[in-house]
Amino acid sequence: MKQLHRSLSTATFVCRAAIGIGLLLTVAGFAGCSARQAELAQRLDTSDDALRADQETLRKQMAAVHRRLQLQADRLRGAEDELVRLRAEMLVAGERSDGLSSRWTRATETHPVQARPDVTPALDAAALYQQGRAHYGERRYGEALRPFARIVAEAQQSKEADNAQYWIGECYYGMGKFRQALDAFNLVLAYAKTEKDDDAQLKIARCHLSLGQKEQAITAYRGLIKTYSNSEYVSAAGRELRYLEDP
């Protein structure tokens, strides 16, 4: 019986020891879980702080962008308002101008403004003609053109007009400007009464010749011979015509 009692005591002790060890292990396990949970909670808190910081930074950036956009919108509205104001002022100014113009028109219709007569000194065509001939005699063709052109433009009815037109052609011919000379000589023939028609006809033929226009030159020479048969230039025209027809 004593041996049985000892065995039971030993078994009881072993059981109690095992239970104690199990309790210790359980407590240790709970302690480890608590530590991990605390670490995890700390990490979560740190992540939350970083997230909140990022959110605050983003909020500030968006607020700055909104302020810039608002400022630009205000400037655009200001510019648009100024443009509207300027357009309104222009419209009002135009209406005022139209009103002033209408009042001025009515006033001038009621009390017409008397135009002052232009006083133009008489043109001395004869003196200008002599001046042009003097320049031409010195082969200053450009200077000779000016007085001749004034006579043609301002003294069309003078007896020097047709001669001046002819010498315009001679000036261009002397400068080698045969196209302008041809035009000038043709204008001589437009004068109803002129003593330079046969002279101009001979020069027309020579201008065509200088321009390399053979057929036009032949026609002009023949025209001189036929139309101005008593001209002193008939013999020259016939001679030059033969040069073209019988090379």
| pTM of structure | 0.52
Closest CA to 238 of 199, 204, 226: 226
- Exposure on the CB side of residue 223, measured as CA atoms within 13 A: 17
Which residue is listed with tokens 């003593």? 195
pLDDT in tens, 132-166: 999 999 999 999 999 999 999 999 899 999 999 99
Tell whether the model's pLDDT for residue 181 goes beyond 80.
yes
d(CA 81, CA 89): 12
Count Cβ atoms within 10 A of the Cβ of residue 206 and give its class: 0-12 exposed, 13-18 middle, 19 or more buried: buried
Tell whether the model's pLDDT for residue 243 goes beyond 60.
yes
Report which of residues 223 and 105 the model is more confident about: 223
* DSSP category for residue 111: S
Tell whether the model's pLDDT for residue 186 goes beyond 90.
yes
Q: H helices within 111-160, ranges in order?
A: 125-137, 141-154
Determine the topology of domain 123-191 in CATH. Answer: 1.25.40
Containing H/E element for 21? helix 2-110
Which residue is listed with tokens 């007009």? 161
DSSP string, 162-185: HHHHHHHHHHHHHTT-HHHHHHHH
Tokens of residue 94, six digits:
């135009």
Q: Which amino acid is located at 212 in the chain?
A: G
Could you count the other beta carbons within 10 Å of the beta carbon of residue 213? Answer: 16
Angle of the 214-227 helix axis to the 234-245 helix axis, nearest 10: 150
Residue 138 has what pLDDT? 96
pLDDT in tens, 39-54: 777 777 777 778 888 8
Report which of residues 232 and 31 the model is more confident about: 232
Residue 86 has what pLDDT? 45
Indicate the domain borders of the chain: 123-191, 196-247
Tell whether the model's pLDDT for residue 180 goes beyond 50.
yes
